[in-house]
Amino acid sequence: EVQKHLAEMIRKHWEGWVEDKIPALGGKTPKEAVTSADGREAVEALLKDAERDRGQDPIMVEANRRGARRARELLGLNNP
């Protein structure tokens, strides 16, 4: 039950993340940043970093990986 709740919280975080102003993106939202090649590269770097396993709980790692994949979908980064 707790794991399901945590996974849902992480999913919501990633869906909202695409609209959040991110300091590492110069204060732009990921949605704004992906409109340029440099911005897309920066967003991808942030998503790849989020997907890394840093010795976290396996459930957290997988939830963040699913969230990052969802963010890519929302941002249209899954298309070549």
pLDDT 10s digits, 18-65: 999 999 999 999 999 999 999 999 999 999 999 988 777 888 889 999
In this structure, which long-range contacts are made by residues 5-10, counting pairs with CB atoms below 8 Å and at least 24 apart in sequence?
6/59, 6/60, 6/63, 7/59, 7/63, 7/66, 10/60, 10/63, 10/64, 10/66, 10/67
pTM, two decimals, is 0.85
pLDDT digits (tens, 9 = 90+) for 55-79: 778 888 899 999 999 999 999 998 5
